[in-house]
């Protein structure tokens, strides 16, 4: 039996103390599109997402809601599971850091690091606010003018010390630099790679990895006064979900190391520095790639609950439909850069690309076929050079798009597909099949066939981006559902196949008043 190549992709795990918005859907969507693409391209895929549920903020939030912390987590983790469903993410697993499998794996990793001499006890000190139950960085602290230091929340802070375990991150500076030098594509985009390099070159300090001031966390093995502090707990999800510490687990064997951790740029350091150092220290393989994308902003400002400009995915799906939302998020912003969302750019983009270029082309073509070709796939006769040019451009799509997807250049992948749709629009206008109907019906049939073939290939390659709309388009082209994988690119439409009556795939969207 031939074994299929495998591919493991992960999203960050989301903090449960936030209400999910469209920014949270963004990393998941990027992963989902690549996961669907790889599946259609014959890979054995594993797509992991989940929720990050420990820490003081969660403990405090649960107390404020007057519910037990675990019950609170169940409730809010569900918001992210609902988001994944609403966005039609095809994740193979959803890990929660409060699950038994994660506790076991985390504690096992801690023990391995400890036995390797990578953990020691010391004390952690910092500016602490009793009312916020949180530490603040020195640059966040200011004077209140009355001799006290205050946090950005306005609450008083005091310099305190507590015992803490530390990970010997400082040991790993040179091994990390060697690793980056040998793997220049490890951190992407390139600007992020340089950022990481500069950070590590400037020197690494040991990392505080436990706390005694709260208890909602994974207990440190053999020291119940301490719970693990965020990053050891959170990052480890990528391997505990595969069965770690059982490295003989079939999932671990097949899928570790991850092919790519997709993250937002604000958590780059943790993934590109701390995580590889922990894995090296535990003698585990390192992920192949960390891709840091930019942040989505609304009308030029960061989306946040306090500014009141948060948009939820569910809201957008209701307004414009899921496929249009998925298309817009992947097309509008060059992946890796920050992007700003505004209603105006969104409606313009969707109407021009989807309703006009693609939807209209499909509807126009299939309506003529329905009326004048007996609602069957038309039979082409001799192909002219113009026909050949368009068909060649469509046939080149898989190779072009595959390369762009491997580079996670989603916006370029989509623009290269849409360029073929524009070409097909120019072609139909130049060939004018509605005129040929009277002058040369045979030529009309050929032209319509050429456009339908082009549409078939466009729809196949766009499936990962717009799964439902492209399924409808392929249905209308009478492409059997078992012939929609990328190996099927080479199987042209069967002439004479009966076609269902056409209906618009992308209605024109009217922006709100
Ligand atoms: N729990 C940590 C991650 C641990 S991973 C081992 C965390 N969670 S988070 O919920 O605050 O953010 C998770 C991710 O959501 C970010 O990395 C980013 O990918 C995504 N985004 C949250 N807001 C976003 C935008 N406004 N725009 C784009 N992505 C955003 O950090």
Each residue's pLDDT tens digit, 342-369: 889 999 999 999 999 999 999 999 999 9
- Close Cβ partners of 66 (under 8 Å, ≥ 6 residues apart): none
Ligand 1 atom nearest the C-alpha of 27 is 19
- Ligand 1 centroid distance, CA of 503 (Å): 39
- Ligand 1 centroid distance, CA of 14 (Å): 6
Query: Please, what is the Cα angle at 466 between 462 and 469, to 5 degrees?
Result: 100
Ligand 1 neighbourhood includes 23 CB (under 6 angstroms): yes
Q: Is the pLDDT of residue 131 over 90?
A: no
Ligand 1 neighbourhood includes 419 CB (under 6 angstroms): no
Looking at the chain, the whole-number percentage of residues with pLDDT higher than 70 is 99
DSSP-H helix ranges across 170-321: 173-182, 190-201, 230-235, 237-240, 250-255, 268-269, 275-281, 313-320
- Ligand 1 centroid distance, CA of 354 (Å): 29
Name the residue at shortest CA distance from atom 16 of ligand 1. Answer: 264
Residue 511 pLDDT class (50, 70, 90 cuts):
confident
Ligand 1 neighbourhood includes 267 CB (under 6 angstroms): yes
Token couple for 359: 């939807």
Ligand 1 neighbourhood includes 235 CB (under 6 angstroms): yes
Query: What b/e sequence results for 459-490 when a residue is b if at least 16 CB atoms lie within 10 Å of its CB, and e otherwise?
Result: bbbbbbbbbebbbbbbbbbbbeeeebebebbe
Look-up of token digits 């740029």: 265
- Averaged pLDDT, 448-458: 98
Ligand 1 neighbourhood includes 26 CB (under 6 angstroms): yes
32-57: pLDDT as tens digits: 999 999 999 999 999 999 999 999 88
Q: Is the pLDDT of residue 508 over 70?
A: yes
Ligand 1 neighbourhood includes 230 CB (under 6 angstroms): no
CA distance 448 to 425: 12
Supply the pLDDT for residue 99: 98
Supply the pLDDT for residue 340: 86
CA distance 36 to 172: 36
Supply the pLDDT for residue 1: 62
Look-up of token digits 């119940």: 224
- Ligand 1 centroid distance, CA of 24 (Å): 6
- Ligand 1 centroid distance, CA of 101 (Å): 23
Ligand 1 neighbourhood includes 265 CB (under 6 angstroms): no
Q: Is the pLDDT of residue 280 over 80?
A: yes
Would the pTM count as exceeding 0.85?
yes
Supply the pLDDT for residue 15: 93
Name the residue at shortest CA distance from atom 17 of ligand 1. Answer: 264
Ligand 1 atom nearest the C-alpha of 302 is 26
Ligand 1 neighbourhood includes 290 CB (under 6 angstroms): no
- Phi, psi (rounded to 5 degrees) for 322: -65, -45
Query: Please, what is the Cα angle at 85 between 84 and 90, to 5 degrees?
Result: 75
Residue 299 pLDDT class (50, 70, 90 cuts):
confident
Q: Is the pLDDT of residue 153 over 70?
A: yes
Given a contact cutoff of 8 angstroms between Cβ atoms, the answer to whether 340 and 299 are in contact is: yes
197-226: pLDDT as tens digits: 999 999 999 999 999 988 999 999 999 999
Given a contact cutoff of 8 angstroms between Cβ atoms, the answer to whether 450 and 391 are in contact is: yes
**Sign (positive or negative) of CA dihedral 106, 111, 112, 114:** positive
Name the residue at shortest CA distance from atom 13 of ligand 1. Answer: 14
Token couple for 159: 């310099």
Q: Is the pLDDT of residue 313 over 70?
A: yes
371-424: pLDDT as tens digits: 999 999 999 999 999 999 999 999 999 999 999 999 999 999 999 999 999 999
Ligand 1 neighbourhood includes 12 CB (under 6 angstroms): yes
């Amino acid at each position: 039996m031939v074994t299929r190549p495998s591919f493991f992709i992960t999203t960050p795990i989301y903090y449960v103390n936030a209400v999910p918005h469209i920014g949270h859907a963004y990393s998941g969507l990027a992963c989902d599109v690549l996961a669907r693409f790889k599946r259609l391209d014959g890979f054995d895929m594993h797509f992991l997402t989940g929720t990050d549920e420990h820490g003081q903020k969660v403990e405090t939030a649960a107390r404020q809601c007057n519910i037990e912390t675990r019950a609170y987590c169940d409730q809010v983790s569900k918001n992210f599971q609902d988001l994944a469903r609403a966005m039609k993410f095809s994740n193979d697993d959803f890990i929660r850091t409060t699950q038994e499998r994660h506790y076991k794996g985390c504690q096992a990793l801690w023990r391995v690091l400890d036995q390797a001499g990578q953990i020691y006890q010391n004390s952690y000190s910092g500016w602490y606010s009793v009312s916020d139950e949180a530490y603040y960085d020195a640059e966040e602290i200011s004077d209140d003018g009355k001799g006290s230091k205050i946090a950005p929340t306005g609450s008083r802070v005091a310099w305190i010390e507590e015992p803490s375990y530390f990970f010997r991150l400082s040991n790993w500076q040179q091994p990390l630099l060697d690793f980056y030098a040998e793997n220049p594509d490890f951190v992407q985009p390139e600007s992020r790679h340089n950022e990481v390099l500069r950070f590590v070159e400037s020197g690494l300090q040991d990392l505080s990895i436990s706390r005694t001031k709260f208890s909602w966390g994974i207990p440190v093995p053999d020291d119940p006064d301490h719970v693990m502090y965020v990053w050891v707990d959170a990052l480890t999800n990528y391997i505990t979900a595969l069965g770690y510490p059982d490295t003989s687990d079939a999932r671990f064997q097949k899928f570790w190391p991850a092919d790519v951790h997709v993250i937002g740029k604000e958590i780059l350091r943790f993934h590109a520095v701390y995580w590889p150092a922990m894995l090296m220290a535990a003698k585990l393989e390192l992920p192949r790639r960390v891709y840091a994308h930019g942040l989505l902003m609304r009308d030029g400002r960061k989306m946040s609950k306090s500014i009141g400009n948060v948009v939820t995915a569910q809201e957008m799906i209701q307004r414009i439909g899921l496929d249009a939302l998925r298309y817009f998020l992947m097309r509008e912003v060059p992946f890796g850069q920050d992007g700003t969302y505004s209603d105006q750019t969104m409606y313009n983009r969707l109407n021009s690309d989807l309703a006009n270029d693609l939807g209209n082309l499909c509807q126009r073509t299939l309506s003529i076929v329905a009326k004048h070709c007996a609602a069957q796939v038309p039979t082409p006769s001799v192909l002219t050079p113009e026909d050949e040019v368009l068909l060649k451009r469509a046939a080149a799509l898989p190779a072009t798009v595959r390369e762009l997807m491997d580079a996670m250049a989603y916006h370029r992948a989509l623009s290269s597909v849409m360029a073929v749709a524009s070409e097909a629009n120019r072609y139909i206008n130049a060939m004018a099949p509605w005129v040929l109907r009277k002058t040369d019906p045979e030529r009309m049939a050929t032209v319509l066939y050429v456009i339908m073939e082009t549409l078939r290939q466009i729809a196949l390659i766009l499936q990962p981006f717009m799964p439902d709309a492209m399924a409808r388009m392929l249905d209308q082209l009478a492409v059997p559902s078992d012939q929609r994988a990328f190996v099927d690119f080479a199987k042209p439409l069967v002439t004479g196949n009966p076609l269902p009556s056409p209906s618009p795939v992308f209605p024109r969207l009217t922006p709100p008043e």
